[in-house]
Every structure is written in structure tokens, then in C-alpha cells.
Structure 1
């Protein structure tokens, strides 16, 4: 019961702080909204829709059958889960958790396998690392591949570590007896929807998940701003920072603990040396911030997947990424300079376009349901 009292007290305190500082909350909410509808929504939406279509059409089952032995040997997860992991590397978080929750809801994987998958299928979008972080925040395109190598290398090591989670008895994957074509046909037959209905469902489901993600981004942006406004952050800084020179590092870690983008942006400050900035960014990207953690927890809450293994895996990911970054910095590797530019206005246009399309689809479905009831 004490957890309920603590949660009620915390939420009430947060609401009071927001009432007394509405301008701070508004500025932070606008900042979070700007990140969501210009960058997060347009970068994740295509992957969400495509993975829904691939699952419905049987493509994931097909490649899952091909990759089954490889994934069992390295990560102790079945083939379809391995396809999910590879897709999550390209799409970014929290798409891995979303696809894992779907596989678990369909009973395609066991709970232990789902927890392994959620723990390892969690990495940043490469567009964010190469464009926003390297070219935008750091103004150093050469650092993009170094950060990406450390981040995705850390994700691979997390997968190897999580293969030992759950023991040898629980969560043993089912062997795939059917061939790729048979698995493809069975998955398509099991779904049974025509392509038009499948596409509409994919758009609606993807937009719904992204609205949830947007809510968490806004909430944690406001929370971080209020902690800074009322001195909670300054109190933590006074305890953690023994020297004035270490204050920017502590500020970056504090912000990154709550919200990834803010932490990465502060880590790119000119007051922090370039090598330390890269180490901080790798650590923050590996942990990914409580805002993303809350998104994953909300997505898996409809299943029996537990949050604990995911949290432990993020600590491992942060540690592995920092070690790999140190190793890459200690050797004279030459990484190519890749300067990607994502124009925010284009992202905003895509967001508005798909929100409008989703609204039309919802209205069409509602009218159809009314006709059936009549």
C-alpha cells in the first residue's frame, strides 16, 4: 500500500509544481512536441507500418524459418524473434518492444524468449545517431559511425549476454519443423485479412502507438524542466559534482537519465572535451532514458513480459557501449564522414498527413460499424 501512497504524493506534488509554473511546463511541452512530430513520428511510422504488413503477409514467418538455427545458436530465440531484432536495429526504439509484444500475444514465442527479445531488440535509429547527434549536436559527421559502431556492437553483446537469461529449461524455443514457404503460407492463412484491411489496421495501430510515445516524451520533458525549475536538479548536482569542471558532465547525465535527447544535446556542449562527449553519448544512448523505459513498459504491459530484464539489459548496453567507444578511440580508426540532414518541416508534413489519414480511417470504420449495428 505504501507504493500507492508514494505514487499519489508524487503525482500531486508534480501537479502542484505545474500549476505554480505553467510557463515552464508549456515551454517544455512545446519542446517535447517539437521533437515528437518533427522527428520521432516520421522516422518511426514507416517501420511500424511495414513491420505490421510483413507480419500479416507472412514475410516475418518466412525469414524467421530461414534464420531459426542461427538465432537459436547465438541468442536462444526463435527465427521470427530474430527478424524482429534485425528490424529494430534499423527502426529504433521502442519498435522492438512493440514487435515482441505482438509475437508474445500471438504465442509465437515464450515469455522468457520475449523478455530476451525486448532486452536485446532495443537500439537507437541510425538516422538519429548519424544525423541529429553527429551532424547536428556534435557538428562532427566523422563521429557518427564511431557512435553507431559502439551502440550496435553493444546491442549485439547484450543479445549474447541475455542468451543465458532464463536457464536451460524455462523458455525453450519451439523447433521449426516446416520450411520457409510452408511457414509463409501458414502465417498468411492464419491472418486471413485482405491487403486493404491489413494496411488500414497497420496505419491505425502504428499511429496509436506513436501517440502513446508522444505522450511520454511530453511528460518527461515537462518533468525534467520542473526538476530544474524547483532546484531538485541543482541539489543533485551539488551532491554529485565535487568540482566545477565536472558540472556539465553531471548535468548531461542527469538530463539523459530522464530524457535521451536532452541528455545527448547537453553532452555535446563545447565545455566538455570531444572524447568525453562521445563516452557520455554512448552511455546515454545505451540506457536510453526513463522516457523510453516508460514507453517500453506501457507497450509490454498488455502481455506477461516483465520489465526487470529490460532494465538490467539497458545497464549492460550502456556499459558495453562505453567500453567499445573507449576501444575505438584508443585505435587510429578512420571513419568516413557522413552528413545526413533531416529537414524538420518534412517530418512535420508527414506527421500531419498520416494523422489526417488515420482520422479518416477511424471515421470510415465507425460509420461501417454503425451500419452493421443498424
Structure 2
């Protein structure tokens, strides 16, 4: 008899029972934490993510993503072992933050534009935090220094790129996506033909396409909001009472072997489930002054994302055959890579002089969710998306040129 299914059943039942009892015992704490999660979702996440989700759906329906896919295929395939359409997912994921990347990868899988293996690769390395959270919430809000966001952002994005290159071998025996190629046409004409073909095959009129885009985006946002509120309540209960002591005491003993303060144990537990509160705990540790280790741990947790984000991703990819297990383990690897990169880059980057004035003003403020924040967030995230896409297009053009003139790349 296999015990694993029974163990998971008991574990889920106990966690649910714990939540119910805690809500009955501490109703005020449950209400306050739920309200706090709702405020984060409504003031920050909803206005900044919804426009990008709607536009992404429209770009897929109009064939723009297929156009980009043809142009980016020469670069994305050899480096990340995903089709060119993965470049769009990568750009949106790196700039807009989780879980936009997994949502778009799932959309490509539903339309059979990627295989299961390619979808799993995309989901893993396109799920990152956005620059507004890294610079505004983490660097400014919790560490009170916008320049520190450079370390966390560099580690987070460089780690995602390295992860993407490493997991190109994930399920490498699986078949790759194949497209109809018109070898007699230039790559630009092939891209336009692919865009036209995709738009014609979609068959939905403009009104239907726009309605579906809005409906799908709202459904995704409500899923995100539900998980944000749920884990806000869970974190409140997990960090109070006897349950917190049961978790923190053994972890504190483990951290002592690495000469890390025992107070860090609570931040580790919170960070495993949710990123924002763990950043707050680390930033408020005034007795521990090792800034290099603080940033190393913070970078690892930002890359990990927390079980709250994992639950969002698992819910999003649940409509396809994309598996969650690879995402879990590869995000652990991403967390390790981000932490290691921060630790290694600390001294070299510190030798360079970073002035806070060189960072855009918008990234030197804590996201507060007012109308001004929304108006600035959309063009800022859109600008970063365009920058990443331009870099990918340049890399693809260079790779095409090298294949044309170099026998090494041609082979």
C-alpha cells in the first residue's frame, strides 16, 4: 500500500482544520489580515497587471505573438530550447512579474503553440518578480536604499536567464514544436505570413476577441487576489502561538551552524510561503548588520516567490498538461542561483558608485496603489517589456547573421 497519497490527504486536512480553528479563535486577526491582502491586490496588483494580461490576450489573438515567434526563433531555440513565441512570454514575465509568464505560457500550450516540455521550461524561467516590487517594495520599503535593488534585480533576472539555459535539457527527448516554413521568403515576410495565418485561423470577430481577452484576464486576476488574501491570513496564523515555536526552534538551531541569527528563522518560514512579509522581517532586523547576507537571502526569496505564487501558478497551469513538480524544483534552483549571484556580485558592484539619482524616480518610491502609481506603472512596465523584446530581436538578428557567414553556427 502506498502511504504517500494518505500522508498528503492527512496533511491537507490538518492544515485546513488548523485554519478553521484559528479563524474561530482569532476572528479579528483573520479579518485584518484578509483586509490587508485585499488592499495589496486591489491597490497594487490589479491595476498594474490587468492591462498587460488583456493586451497579451489580444496580441495572441491578432497574431502579433506569432510574428514575434518567427523573428525570435533563431535565438530562442538554440539557447532556451523553446520556440520563438517563448521570447514574448519571457519579455512579459521578466518585466511584469509573476504570474504573467506562466499565464502566457499556459495560453500558448492551450493553442498548441508549444509542447508540454517547452511549456514547462517557459513556466519555470519566465516566472520572476517585476522591477517595481524589487526596487520599490523591497529595496526602498524594507531596506530603505533604492540602489540595493540593483543587486536583487541583477541576481533575479540573471538567475532566470541562467536557469532558462540550464533547463533547455529538461525532458530533452520530448518532441519540439514544428512550424510551417516558407524557405523561399525572407524571415520578415515569413513573420508577416505567420501573423496573418494566425489571425485568419482564430476566426473570432473583434468584439468576441476583446470580450474573451477581458474575461480571461479578470478570471486570472480574481484567482491571484484569492490566493493573496488566503496566504495573508495563513501567514498571520503561522506566525503566532505554539505552531510558530514548533517551526522556528529547530530552524534556529540549524541556522546557528552557519552563524546566522536565530531571529532569521521566522523570516525563513514566512519567506517559504510569502515574499513580502519575509522581506519586511529581514529589513527590520537592526541587530544583524551583515548587509551582504541580508541581500543574498532576500534575492533567494524573491526568486523563489513563495508558496503563494506557486499556488497561483499551479492553479493557472492546471487547465493544461503542464506539470507543477518541475516548477517547484527549478524555482528552488532559481533561488539558489539568485542568492549565489548576489553574494558573488556584492564586492565587485560595491566598487562601482551607484547614486540613487541615477535610478528612475518612480523606482525610488514604495508602491502605494493610488491613481498616480497606476498611471506611472503601466508605461514603466511597458517600457521594460519593449527593452527586453528589442534585446531579444537584436540577439536573434546577430545569430541569423552569424549562421549565414560562419560555418560553425551554420552546423
Partner in structure 1 of residue 174 of structure 2? 170
Partner in structure 1 of residue 347 of structure 2? 330
**Post-superposition, which runs of at least 4 consecutive aligned residues in structure 1 deviate over 6 A?**
347-350
Deviations 1:20-79 (A, max 9, x none): 111111121112112111111122112111111111111110011000011011000001
Is 2:70 the counterpart of 1:65? Answer: yes
For the 8 Å contact 1:123–1:152, the answer to whether it is kept is yes
Partner in structure 2 of residue 255 of structure 1? 270
Query: What is the aligned counterpart of 1:346 among 371, 378, 387?
Result: 371
For the 8 Å contact 1:37–1:348, the answer to whether it is kept is no
Counterparts of 1:260-275 in structure 2, within 5 Å, are 260-271=275-286, 272-273=288-289, 274-275=291-292
CA-CA distance at 1:227 after TM superposition: 1.4
CA-CA distance at 1:136 after TM superposition: 1.8
Partner in structure 1 of residue 408 of structure 2? none
Cα distance in 1, alignment partners of residues 150 and 208 from structure 2 = 40
Deviations 1:237-282 (A, max 9, x none): 2112146971332221111111111112212124232222211210
Which range moved further: 106-115 or 240-249?
240-249
Query: What is the aligned counterpart of 2:310 among 282, 290, 293?
Result: 293
Cα distance in 2, alignment partners of residues 216 and 230 from structure 1 = 23
CA separation of 1:334/1:212 partners in 2, compared to 1, >3 Å: closer, same or farther?
A: same
Cα distance in 2, alignment partners of residues 5 and 245 from structure 1 = 34
For the 8 Å contact 1:109–1:173, the answer to whether it is kept is yes
Partner in structure 2 of residue 44 of structure 1? 49
Query: What is the aligned counterpart of 2:40 among 22, 35, 56?
Result: 35
Partner SS state of residue 144, structure 2? coil
Cα distance in 1, alignment partners of residues 64 and 374 from structure 2 = 30
For the 8 Å contact 2:48–2:374, the answer to whether it is kept is no
TM-score of the two chains, using structure 1 as the length reference:
0.88
Cα distance in 2, alignment partners of residues 248 and 173 from structure 1 = 49
Consecutive unaligned residues in structure 2, runs of 5 or more:
183-189, 376-411
CA-CA distance at 1:109 after TM superposition: 0.8
Cα distance in 2, alignment partners of residues 207 and 286 from structure 1 = 26
Counterparts of 1:184-199 in structure 2, within 5 Å, are 184-199=195-210
Partner SS state of residue 212, structure 2? helix
Counterparts of 1:142-181 in structure 2, within 5 Å, are 142-167=147-172, 169-175=173-179, 177-178=181-182, 179-181=190-192
Is 2:20 the counterpart of 1:15? Answer: yes
CA separation of 1:175/1:203 partners in 2, compared to 1, >3 Å: closer, same or farther?
A: closer
For the 8 Å contact 1:71–1:82, the answer to whether it is kept is yes
Cα distance in 2, alignment partners of residues 311 and 18 from structure 1 = 29
For the 8 Å contact 1:111–1:171, the answer to whether it is kept is no
CA-CA distance at 1:347 after TM superposition: 7.7
Deviations 1:274-298 (A, max 9, x none): 2222112101011110000000000
Q: How many residues align?
A: 349
Deviations 1:197-227 (A, max 9, x none): 3223222211111110111111111111111
Partner in structure 2 of residue 109 of structure 1? 114
TM-score of the two chains, using structure 2 as the length reference:
0.81
Partner in structure 2 of residue 219 of structure 1? 230
For the 8 Å contact 1:123–1:151, the answer to whether it is kept is yes
